[in-house]
Structure 1
Amino acid sequence: MVAGHLREQNGIYQIILSYKDANGKRKTKQISTGLKIRGNARNAERMLQQARQEFTPPEMAAEQGKEVNPEELSSLDTDVAAHQSDNRSLNGFSETTMDKPDVNFTSSKNTNKQGNKKKRVIPPVNPNLMLKPVDQILFCDYMLFWLKSMRHSVDEDTFAGYQCGIESSIYPYFLEKGFTLSDLEKNPQLIKDYYDYLMDTRKVSANTVIHRHANIRKALQELYIDGTINCNPADRVKKPIKEVFVGSIYNAEELDQMFRVFRGDPLEQIVIFASYYGMRRSEIIGLKWKNIDFVRKTISVKHVVVESCIDGKLKMIKKDKPKTKSSNRSLPLVPQLEELLVKLLRNQQHNAKLFGDSYNKEFREYINVDPMGNLIKPNFVTQHFRLICDKNELKHIRFHDLRHSCATLLYDSGIDMKAIQEWLGHSNISTTMNIYAHLNYKNKVISANAIAGIIPNYKEKEPRAAAN
């Protein structure tokens, strides 16, 4: 069975088939389904699967004495206007004889020669896919099958990351190549070629490729464990070296200037939480009033809010599960922040009474809401922070770099790495050491000075005056 996918063109689903000719060169064929885009995704997918099963490459057809229809063998780059089959259906299927789709399809967009947007449709998963032999299972189809199996096995934000990487990058690439599971098992270089394509052609970072590698390896590992394949081909592929990112930071004077700039701003308390406590953005947005103990003067980090794109829709994900177990931590409530929080609580109570039924009561338990009671979105924090910094000509840093600024100030104040680890909520001290290894330079200087005394002094002595 040849590889294939659906493409939208001029409001009609087009079937794009991919195969290799007698010389091993990959070619594509375009066939119009005659189906309009709206309400026909499932119908078009059925026609695609039938076309993939029944299509015979021209060379093979000639050998078998079959007549080849040139209209159905037009290439992907051929202008759709050259086709006379836009208004007909493949193999007699029509829009009215099939069921309407009951699922939503996520697609990635590109542009054709005329500048019109085209969508790559992600087909529904075949539940019987794994009943086929491995040499008949396309790797791209298996990745969709695996993705669906993970939907309820991991957190929503984790699944969102899987979905983004697979549907926008892994699936389209391997769909075009038409490689089967058997192909990858026999030749792991096919996976390495994908990594090289990402870095050389798409110019993505090594860290992004490492994420794609993790997705592919995890998916193939399940096949290896259940005996479907004899080895995990991803384990035989060398992944790129991880890039070490060192962000910019604010020193004490720059932080003081930033605090003055954000005074009275919707992010005023948010930048304090990030700078003084080194809290992650998700932890700050997830803070609730019950996490503030005004009696014991403590702040408890137990809840997070993240924003992820799932099935093409941006979703706020709220969960009582911070990044790691160590992220659950209690921190002291300093007087300056306590005063600001009390003022903030009074303002929220006032706004709730002032706006009445128009006030959003869904997020009343959260600290960081706007005047109408809507929870401040994580992406707004990042965008607004940069906007205000640029407007006031502050040094450009990322919002997350406020967390790094906090760690640097703690270390410069003589706080040891173990205490910094607990303050930031890292799972183990090695994480802290790896991220902030550059901070150990002070210790290296102390060590160098400690042993400097045993090194001979090679300073050239002044020559003695000659005796008269």
Structure 2
Amino acid sequence: MSAPVAVSGSGSIYQRKYGRWEAAGHVLAPGTTRKEALAKLTEKIAARNRGLPIPSAQGSLAAYLTYWLENVAMHQLRENSHTRYAACVDRYLIPGLGKKKLTKLTAKDVRTWLNQLGATCQCCSRGIAALRDEPRCCAAGRCCRKLLSPLTLTHIHSVLKSALEHAVREEEIPRNVARNVRTGTPRPRRFEPLTADEARRLLTAAQGLRLHALFELALHTGLRKGELLGLRWGDLDLSAGTAAIRRTLQRTTVGGLTTLPTKTRALRTSHRPPHPLKHHHEQQQREREAAGTMWQDSGHVFATAQGRAIDPTNLTRAFTMLLRKAGFRRIRFHDLRYSTATLLLEQGVELVVIKELLGHAHIGVTAGVYAHVRLRLQRQAIDTLGSLLGTTDDPDDPPTAAVVR
């Protein structure tokens, strides 16, 4: 007869004769053979000796994700970021992996699910087609193959990694299995920066507008929309033509128009032409006198005609009207920031200087976003060297390829 086996989770508490209390528990390491069971037991003892946590969470991944959103992410993320994380959890993670036990989740589970998610039409899986007035996609028997972009899949994977990383820190699980899953690097978002001639035409069209100084500063400095709207007069040194970038203005679901720290917490100084700001300051003083008792001094450099902060949505509308006036193609306000960096790169400004100007946390972000510009500059450099050495491409030969690293 085999020896009796204790039940997993059972234990006992007893007191030694010198007064100290001790507790002993029993956790099964199941195996089909004695050798496998011994190997698992040895592994758990070794993990304990190395100080690794023993998994304790018995709940589902859905329960932990809900806890993480409400008690951890809520206090670490900005409101808009938390809203995006919550949408990702509710729309993708919980329906796809929520029933899995937190301690039983494996890298294979994550990889298999991500592959399936990336190959699934979202109209079909989420029933979007059935909600339309006219049957389309799967409801009409013709799938539109509306797939998630690589960027969205990377974001979903990142949210899962963040949640599991906190579970490791709280010693709920021994390791973050999502970190063992590698996703492809998404292609950078395409954008259409303005050429130098287009930038000059845009500024000419903006002459006489209330926010002419804002559009000029956007192109001269590459500041984000929220950073421009969050500027206060106390941040500026008009004599030196500099500004301390301390905050950003955003609209949130709960707080409305809210001032938040900049995306990268490090304080940076932006250099700017003082003349547009001086003229803008004089214009604001005239508006203040005209508003009289209706003036509400928010302290912002760029404010409404009554002194209140400008809603980012209203700035977008003003920018769209400027594009129509100038006869430009439709671009985003954020493309002005890309235009600044592109023009600087084309003028030979070092990447590290552009990184500091734009406020990127890592130079890899700057290099990745503007890779297409660097390839064109490499081509020009190779052509210049060819002219110097007296070797030029034959018109019938394919163009010399830039080196891609």
Match for residue 382 of structure 1 among 316, 319, 324: 316
Partner of residue 261, structure 1: 205
Match for residue 172 of structure 2 among 208, 222, 228: 228
Gaps of 5+ in 2: 1-54, 123-146, 396-405
The alignment's TM-score, normalised by the length of structure 2, stands at 0.68
Alignment pair present for 1:180 and 2:114: no
- Stretch of structure 1 that moved more, 409-418 or 239-248: 409-418
Partner of residue 329, structure 1: 269
Partner of residue 317, structure 1: 258
- Stretch of structure 1 that moved more, 141-150 or 430-439: 430-439
Q: In the superposition, relative to structure 1, how do residues 342 and 190 fare at CA in structure 2: closer, same or farther (>3 Å)?
A: closer
CA distance in 1, matches of 2:333, 2:63: 38
CA distance in 2, matches of 1:323, 1:315: 18
Q: Is the 8 A contact 2:56 2:173 kept in 1?
A: no
Superposition pairs of residues 9-408 of structure 1, within 5 angstroms: 134-135=57-58, 137-150=59-72, 151-174=74-97, 178-185=99-106, 188-190=108-110, 192-194=112-114, 196-197=116-117, 200-202=120-122, 203-309=147-253, 313=254, 315-319=256-260, 321-325=261-265, 328-335=268-275, 337-353=276-292, 356=293, 358-361=294-297, 363=298, 365-390=299-324, 392-408=326-342
- Stretch of structure 1 that moved more, 274-283 or 235-244: 235-244
> Once the 2 structures are TM-superposed, how far is the Cα of residue 451 of structure 1 from its aligned partner?
5.3
Partner of residue 371, structure 2: 437
CA distance in 2, matches of 1:159, 1:276: 32
Q: Deviations over 1:119-153 (max 9, x none)?
A: xxxxxxxxxxxxx9645x22222111001122223
The alignment's TM-score, normalised by the length of structure 1, stands at 0.59
Gaps of 5+ in 1: 1-131, 460-468
Q: Is the 8 A contact 1:351 1:372 kept in 2?
A: no
Secondary structure at the aligned position of 1:304 is classed as: strand
Q: In the superposition, relative to structure 1, how do residues 204 and 316 fare at CA in structure 2: closer, same or farther (>3 Å)?
A: farther
CA distance in 2, matches of 1:433, 1:298: 26
Q: Deviations over 1:340-383 (max 9, x none)?
A: 32233313422441xx1x4434x2x1122212333111233234
CA distance in 2, matches of 1:282, 1:448: 41
CA distance in 2, matches of 1:303, 1:241: 31
Q: In the superposition, relative to structure 1, how do residues 179 and 284 fare at CA in structure 2: closer, same or farther (>3 Å)?
A: same
Secondary structure at the aligned position of 2:168 is classed as: helix
CA distance in 1, matches of 2:307, 2:320: 23
Q: In the superposition, relative to structure 1, how do residues 238 and 437 fare at CA in structure 2: closer, same or farther (>3 Å)?
A: closer
Q: Is the 8 A contact 1:138 1:179 kept in 2?
A: yes
CA distance in 1, matches of 2:251, 2:323: 23
Match for residue 425 of structure 1 among 359, 373, 380: 359
Among all aligned residue pairs of Structure 1 and Structure 2, give the percentage whose two residues are the same amino acid: 21
> Once the 2 structures are TM-superposed, how far is the Cα of residue 183 of structure 1 from its aligned partner?
4.5
Q: Deviations over 1:45-74 (max 9, x none)?
A: xxxxxxxxxxxxxxxxxxxxxxxxxxxxxx
Secondary structure at the aligned position of 1:300 is classed as: strand
Partner of residue 29, structure 2: none
> Once the 2 structures are TM-superposed, how far is the Cα of residue 173 of structure 1 from its aligned partner?
4.5
Q: In the superposition, relative to structure 1, how do residues 327 and 157 fare at CA in structure 2: closer, same or farther (>3 Å)?
A: farther
CA distance in 2, matches of 1:360, 1:172: 48
Q: In the superposition, relative to structure 1, how do residues 383 and 182 fare at CA in structure 2: closer, same or farther (>3 Å)?
A: farther
Q: In the superposition, relative to structure 1, how do residues 184 and 377 fare at CA in structure 2: closer, same or farther (>3 Å)?
A: same
Q: Is the 8 A contact 2:61 2:100 kept in 1?
A: yes
Q: Deviations over 1:227-280 (max 9, x none)?
A: 322432312333243121231011122122222333344543322221111111
Partner of residue 6, structure 2: none
Q: In the superposition, relative to structure 1, how do residues 454 and 373 fare at CA in structure 2: closer, same or farther (>3 Å)?
A: closer
Secondary structure at the aligned position of 2:105 is classed as: helix
Secondary structure at the aligned position of 1:445 is classed as: helix
Q: Deviations over 1:23-42 (max 9, x none)?
A: xxxxxxxxxxxxxxxxxxxx
Q: In the superposition, relative to structure 1, how do residues 198 and 393 fare at CA in structure 2: closer, same or farther (>3 Å)?
A: farther
Q: In the superposition, relative to structure 1, how do residues 221 and 418 fare at CA in structure 2: closer, same or farther (>3 Å)?
A: closer
Q: Deviations over 1:82-133 (max 9, x none)?
A: xxxxxxxxxxxxxxxxxxxxxxxxxxxxxxxxxxxxxxxxxxxxxxxxxx96
Q: In the superposition, relative to structure 1, how do residues 238 and 408 fare at CA in structure 2: closer, same or farther (>3 Å)?
A: closer
CA distance in 2, matches of 1:300, 1:225: 36
Partner of residue 88, structure 1: none
CA distance in 2, matches of 1:380, 1:407: 25
CA distance in 2, matches of 1:165, 1:391: 39
Secondary structure at the aligned position of 2:249 is classed as: strand
Secondary structure at the aligned position of 2:251 is classed as: strand
> Once the 2 structures are TM-superposed, how far is the Cα of residue 218 of structure 1 from its aligned partner?
1.2
Q: Deviations over 1:398-435 (max 9, x none)?
A: 11111111122223334332332232233343332222
CA distance in 2, matches of 1:350, 1:457: 66
